[in-house]
Structures are given as structure tokens and as C-alpha cells.
């Protein structure tokens, strides 16, 4: 049978596709932009998006398992719920869903709250699902690389509590392992939730210190006030998105993203290797 991957041209989705192919799985991707679908031979590509009902029905034909990843958009919740309805209509009840860390608690952050809504649908309608809840993506640091390198400031207001940043490669590999586990099971498996975290819980000051060490020169933390961060984000993304990023940053400052006991051990057990570290990513990004 075939595993359907949504969000396949993004940072996580591409790695998921690669990991599935490496493990010999049959893969189909749904993408709105065929020009970006430069995948390996043998991958089935369906053109469309999560609001295109005809494309969704075509994409789900012959599929047994779904990897559902929604981009942060104004209609993210609608996309998720429609996709799950069409999955249910098509007889697909094995799902790996990319949610977010603390989705059930960060109720004022739109892309956290909507993910918890999708989690509730997965439970209420009897899907057999793995809910993946990643912390802040290490890969997001590409957005602030120039500020760090050119101005010696780490500008992300992640606060004093600590955030266990996770590498997209680790997210994707856990997703692929779970997809294949559910795909290969003789019957629908019970629901599970997995927190996806990195090996270290880092404060803003910790991250600045790592960059200073990697670069061999001073790097300071820009502080916990998210107003400047919001203004910078608004210069290259929609105003509502920048405001949402501010709300997310406020949650980092007030609550952090701190793993539960056993989260890291569970992940290294699944992967059979250590988790990718922030320091190694920073060193590679600095070149």
C-alpha cells in the first residue's frame, strides 16, 4: 500500500519522504506546486492542496496511511479538518499528525490551538494516530543567521525558562518510523503522543553563548521583549503572522518548552542514535 505525505516540499516533509523511500515504502505526495516536486523516481505526485476536494479524493485513492502536515496559514484548521474528513471518507484511519509542543496548553496562539483541535478530531472519530508534538525547530535559525553573523545579536526572544529545540531531521525520521509502524500493523494501533525535543534545553542567553563559542567573538542575547521581533517579522511576512509569532514568543518567555521526564530517552530509543544538537547545527550554519 501507499503512504500519502502532505507538506512534502517543506523542511520536514522533504526529510519524511526521503526517510520513507530509504525504508522502501511506497510514497505519494500532494503538492500545489509541481515545480518543487523534484523527488526521487517512483514517487507518485498529485497536484493540489488541502482545500481542493477533487485532488484530495484522488490523492487518497489506494492510500493506507497519512502523514498530515499543515503550513501555518489563516485557514490551517479548515485544511486539517477537511483533509481528515476526506481521509475518513476514503477509509484511511492510520495517521501521523504533525502537531506542536504544548498544543493543549497554548490556547491563545492560533497555530497551537488549531493543532489541538485537529488532535481532538483524530481522537473523536476513531483514527489510529501518532501525534507528534515538536518543540521549536532548530532549522528556524536560518531566518536569524544574518543578524547573528553581522550584528553579533541572537534576536529570538526565547526567554529564561528554556526551549528544547529539535532538528527537522529528527522530526522526520521519527515520523517515518511511526508511519511505517502503523502501515505495517495487522490492525489499527492505539493512539500515541510523542514530544519531539532536542538534547538540550536552552535559554536565550545559552544560545547566544553557543554562537559566541562557535564564532569566536561576542554574541549577545537580544532580550525577552517580543515587540522588536514582531516588527522584524512584519517586514517580510503578513502582519497577522508576525503578531502570531509574537504570541508564540511570549509563550516561550512565560513557559519555555521543557521536556517531560523520559521524552529524550524515548526519542533516542526510537531512533537508535543521539539527537542532533543545536551546537552542531550552529557550527554548520556558520560555515
pLDDT tens digit string along 27-84? 999 998 877 778 888 899 999 999 999 999 999 999 999 999 998 899 999 999 999 9
Residues 6+ apart with CB under 8 A from 151: none
How far apart (Å, rounded) are the C-alpha atoms in residues 199 and 72? Answer: 26
pLDDT reported for residue 37: 73
Cα 280 vs. chain centroid, distance in angstroms?
20
3-state helix, strand, coil in the chain (%, to 5): 50, 15, 35
The ranges of the chain with pLDDT < 70 are none
Residues 6+ apart with CB under 8 A from 201: 162, 163, 164, 256, 257, 258, 259
How far apart (Å, rounded) are the C-alpha atoms in residues 187 and 197? Answer: 29
Q: Which domains does the chain have, with CATH numbers?
A: 2-135+167-196 (3.40.50.720)
Which sign, positive or negative, has the C-alpha torsion 115, 167, 33, 28? Answer: negative
Residues 6+ apart with CB under 8 A from 265: none
Q: Which of 72, 73, 256, 238 is nearest to 157 (CA)?
A: 256
pLDDT reported for residue 42: 85
pLDDT reported for residue 41: 80
Quote the pTM value: 0.96
**In which element (H, E) is residue 192 found?**
strand 192-196
Three-state secondary-structure class, residue 103: coil
Amino acid at each position: 500500500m501507499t503512504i500519502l505525505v502532505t507538506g512534502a516540499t517543506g523542511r520536514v516533509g522533504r526529510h519524511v519522504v526521503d526517510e520513507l523511500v530509504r525504508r522502501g515504502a511506497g510514497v505519494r505526495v500532494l503538492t500545489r506546486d509541481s515545480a518543487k516536486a523534484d523527488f526521487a523516481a517512483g514517487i507518485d505526485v498529485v497536484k493540489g492542496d488541502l482545500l481542493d476536494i477533487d485532488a484530495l479524493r484522488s490523492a487518497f485513492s489506494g492510500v493506507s496511511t497519512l502523514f498530515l502536515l499543515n503550513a501555518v496559514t489563516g485557514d490551517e484548521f479548515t485544511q486539517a479538518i477537511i483533509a481528515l474528513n476526506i481521509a475518513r471518507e476514503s477509509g484511511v484511519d492510520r495517521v501521523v499528525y504533525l502537531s506542536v509542543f504544548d498544543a493543549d496548553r497554548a490556547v491563545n496562539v492560533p497555530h497551537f490551538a488549531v493543532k489541538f483541535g485537529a488532535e481532538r478530531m483524530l481522537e473523536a472519530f476513531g483514527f489510529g494516530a501518532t501525534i507528534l508534538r515538536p518543540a521549536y525547530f532548530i532549522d528556524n535559525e536560518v531566518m536569524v543567521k544574518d543578524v547573528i553573523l553581522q550584528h553579533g545579536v541572537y534576536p529570538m526572544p526565547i526567554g529564561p525558562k528554556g526551549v528544547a529545540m529539535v532538528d527537522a531531521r529528527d522530526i522526520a525520521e521519527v515520523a517515518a518510523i511511526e508511519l511505517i509502524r502503523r502501515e505495517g500493523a495487522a490492525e489499527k494501533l492505539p493512539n500515541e503522543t510523542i514530544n519531539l525535543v532536542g538534547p538540550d534545553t536552552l535559554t536565550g542567553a545559552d544560545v547566544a553563548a553557543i554562537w559566541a563559542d562557535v564564532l569566536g567573538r561576542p554574541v549577545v542575547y537580544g532580550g525577552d521583549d517580543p515587540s522588536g521581533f514582531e516588527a522584524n517579522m512584519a517586514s517580510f511576512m503578513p502582519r497577522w503572522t508576525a503578531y502570531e509569532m509574537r504570541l508564540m514568543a511570549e509563550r516561550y518567555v512565560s513557559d519555555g518548552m521543557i521536556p517531560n521526564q523520559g521524552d529524550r530517552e524515548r526519542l533516542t530509543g526510537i531512533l537508535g542514535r543521539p539527537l542532533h544538537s543545536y551546537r552542531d547545527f550552529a557550527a554548520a550554519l556558520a560555515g
